[in-house]
Structure 1
Amino acid sequence: MPKVMILVGTMYGGALDVAEQVKPLFEKAGYSVDIHEQPMVGDLVSNEGDIALFCVSTTGSGDFPGNFVPFVRHLRDQSPSLSSLRYGLIALGDSSYGDTFCGAGRALDALLADHGATRLGERLEIDAMETFMADDAAIPWVEEWIDEQQLKVV
């Protein structure tokens, strides 16, 4: 059975909630799903052919949440090739922070591209100023993403 890894970067639990809410959508599409709250670069490298979905919130001035910093640091330091990685990205932020809105998600997207990963479709950016419950935006996006990227296996 193909696998979807959902890698979560969260400070207050919003991105984890999104991951837990979209997990059944992937299971319905025929995947086993693992949610990684403490993601490691090895998870991406050792699971070639699988799909990754990143759910990452932005903290401070466009920063990564504390639980996600070691992952990003290792990705930058180890600089592994991620040319076989196909991924989607849900970035959570607050537009009242101006230029740093969804800064962590945007920085992660650029970092993954630098390592050869292929993003499937567009990045979803969820604005806390417009969407009280992030899963209200994430669920329909994931449903559409699965269809548009032809990811159903059942």
Structure 2
Amino acid sequence: MSTLNIFVATVYGGALDVAEQVQPLFEQAGYTVTIHEDPPMESITTARADLSLFCISTTGSGDVPGNLLPFVESIRDQHPDLSGLRYGLVALGDSSYAETFCGAGRSLDALLSECGARRIGDRLEIDAMETFMADDAAMPWVEQWIDSL
């Protein structure tokens, strides 16, 4: 059975809600799913799953929420070889913060790429100004993403 790690960065729970709502879609597709809210960097370097999904909100001035910040800082500081990491990314933001819209997701995406990870498909950016419930946008995207695998 294939494995999927879902990494969540959230302040008010929106990204966690997305992760919990899409989890059954992956399970129906044959994945064993683990949701990580406070993961160590080793969860993508040594205990790597077949596939990873990042559900990441933006806070402050385009910043990564506190629960995932140590994880992201470890990657930034140690710059591990992530060439075996295949991932997707769902970024949540608010377009009224034009310059920093989905900034945390965009910066994590760039960092993972710098370390050799390979994103599968396009990054989904969900705008809180247009979509009240983020999982309404995430569910169809994840269904298409699973089909593309």
TM range (shorter): over 0.9
Count the aligned residue pairs: 149
Mapped to 2, the partners of 1:49 and 1:138 lie a distance apart of 21
Mapped to 2, the partners of 1:49 and 1:71 lie a distance apart of 16
Q: CA deviation at 1:40?
A: 1.8
The corresponding residue for 2:67 is 67
- Flag structure 1 segments of 5+ consecutive residues without an equivalent: 150-154
Q: CA deviation at 1:99?
A: 1.1
TM-score under structure 1 normalisation? 0.95
Mapped to 2, the partners of 1:89 and 1:19 lie a distance apart of 11
Does 2:101 correspond to 1:101? yes
Mapped to 2, the partners of 1:20 and 1:49 lie a distance apart of 18
The corresponding residue for 1:76 is 76
Task: Name the SS of the counterpart of 1:67 in structure 2.
Answer: coil
The corresponding residue for 1:144 is 144
User: 1:4-153 alignment to 2 at 5 Å?
Assistant: 4-48=4-48, 50-149=50-149
- Flag structure 2 segments of 5+ consecutive residues without an equivalent: none
TM-score under structure 2 normalisation? 0.98
- Contact 2:5–2:49 (8 Å) recurs in 1: no
Instruction: After superposing the two structures, state which structure 1 stretch, 87-96 or 76-85, moved more.
Output: 76-85
Mapped to 1, the partners of 2:66 and 2:41 lie a distance apart of 16
| Cα RMSD for the two superposed structures | 0.8
Structure 1 residue runs of 4 or more that deviate by more than 3 Å after TM superposition: none
- Contact 2:94–2:127 (8 Å) recurs in 1: yes
Q: CA deviation at 1:143?
A: 0.2
Mapped to 1, the partners of 2:48 and 2:69 lie a distance apart of 23
Mapped to 2, the partners of 1:6 and 1:78 lie a distance apart of 21
Q: CA deviation at 1:47?
A: 3.1
Q: Once the two structures are superposed, what CA deviation does each residue of 1:58-91 show, in whole Å capped at 9, x if it has no partner?
A: 0011000010110111111121100000000000
Q: Once the two structures are superposed, what CA deviation does each residue of 1:14-42 show, in whole Å capped at 9, x if it has no partner?
A: 00000000000000000000000102210
Q: Once the two structures are superposed, what CA deviation does each residue of 1:103-130 show, in whole Å capped at 9, x if it has no partner?
A: 0000000000000000000000000000
Amino acid at match of 1:82: L
Q: CA deviation at 1:2?
A: 1.2
Identity among equivalent pairs (%): 68
